[in-house]
Amino acid sequence: MTATILILFGATYLGMALGRFPGLSIDRTGIALVAAILLLATGALDTGQLVAAVDFPTIFILLGLMILSAQYAGSGFYDWCALKVAQAARSPARLLAVIVLVAGGLSAVLANDVVVFAMTPMLCLGLLARKLDPRPYLIALAGAANAGSAATVIGNPQNILIGQVGHLDFWRFAAVCGGPALAAMLIVYLTVWFVWRGRFGEPSREGMGAEVAPVALDRWQLGKAVAATLALLVLFTRDIPQEHSVLLVAGVMMVSRRMASRDMLGMVDWHLLVLFAALFAINHALGLTGIPAALVGDLQAAGWLPDRLAVMVPLALAGSNSIGNVPAVILLLAAWPNPPEGALYGLALLSTLAGNLLLPGSLANIIVAERAAASGVRLGFVEHARCGVPMALLSMAVAAVWLWAGGWMAP
């Protein structure tokens, strides 16, 4: 049975790295789900073990935040915001700054993947209509969304999981990680501006004459979403489990006279939730073999646990830019029981910022590229890497110094 588990585990994470298997139309979520099904079918896991493996509080927080974000989307806020951003500033420098601030700020409280999914198409249309090359602004959108999401425990999926594993307080997390996240947003701005200097106004070959229709904004629904967000932040100051607070707010959002619950649930990224659940099951099966525990024991004896920056930084870079930061964090936490609090802050910061290195490094990057392609804008691997490599390395260096100076992690 151990051989079966190892084969399915290896195939799953190979699929995470490749994004899909050649010749097949199965994506990361499908690969992980099929592997979990085979673990169940072969008897490597029984139904009880599979259910017990899933970290439901993490799933619940993700689900609740997606429903809250659906309230914003249903009000027209994301489209309105993206269009206003694209039309707001006259100079490229100011426009770039607005995109970084808006994307980073929204991602800190509404999850980066949701923000870039909603904003990318309308931002492309607005920029093309102004005869501006959307590519540098899209790189800034993804980079700032990743950087801003590092500031809070609900900013991205991996932070949510890390927060649940370590029972991390929302405001304490923000106090530790907020500074490096703001610095990373500044680095995103400066890097994109330097790399693309003198080329922001180059006309795009497609859609130059596009007229962008005005976006209707339902202010009542938007006000309801903002009030719910503020209520959630208040609930995070109380001694209430975070998943309870998020689900409570999500439940209130679904009670509406104007927005059908079916429509709101239709905006939930069920693929991401299934991916999380399947990876939990696959990693649990590997844990049952005893191999991760033995490996952790060997690493601890050799002094190579990732509780030091010298180990965590390259591990975050390699993991995030091979199998992706979400699967990498799930895998590491499954194999590393009871990590210290400082290491959890470091893992959250470094795995998130490392996702800016290459286009496949984070789901937000992939979403921006795919949504942009659907709008007629091609964002290539090399174009992203020219900005992504310095963005990631510089911001990770700042974060490492911050963690060391604050006494959170040893060098």
Domain assignment present for residue 292? The answer is: yes
Largest CA distance in the chain: 64
Do 388 and 358 contact (CB within 8 A), yes or no?
A: yes
Domain assignment present for residue 411? The answer is: no
pLDDT recorded at residue 212 = 60
Tell me which residue range forms the domain holding 207. 1-406
Domain assignment present for residue 31? The answer is: yes
The neighbour count for residue 73, using CB atoms within 10 Å, is 21
The neighbour count for residue 293, using CB atoms within 10 Å, is 13
Domain assignment present for residue 218? The answer is: yes
pLDDT recorded at residue 181 = 97
The count of domains in the chain is 1
Per-residue pLDDT of the chain (411 residues; tens, 9 = 90+): 789 999 999 999 888 878 778 888 898 899 999 999 999 999 999 999 999 999 999 899 989 999 998 999 889 888 888 888 877 766 888 899 999 999 999 999 888 888 898 889 888 988 888 888 899 999 999 999 999 999 999 999 999 999 999 999 999 999 999 999 999 999 999 999 999 987 776 443 443 344 566 777 888 999 999 999 999 999 998 888 999 999 999 999 999 888 888 988 998 889 889 988 999 999 889 888 888 888 878 777 777 888 899 999 999 999 889 888 888 898 888 888 889 999 999 999 999 999 999 988 888 998 899 889 888 899 988 999 999 999 999 999 999 999 999 999 999
CA–CA distance, 61 with 276 (Å, rounded to integer):
12
Nearest CA to 269 among 367, 374, 154, 140?
367
pLDDT recorded at residue 205 = 41
Count of positions (residues) in the chain: 411
pTM (2 decimals)?
Answer: 0.87
Per the listing, tokens 């029981």 go with 337
Domain assignment present for residue 41? The answer is: yes
Do 389 and 365 contact (CB within 8 A), yes or no?
A: no
Lookup: tokens for 147: 């950087």
CA–CA distance, 355 with 325 (Å, rounded to integer):
6
Residue 379 φ/ψ, nearest 5 degrees: -105, 110
Paired strand residues for 20: 27
Nearest CA to 146 among 135, 134, 158?
158
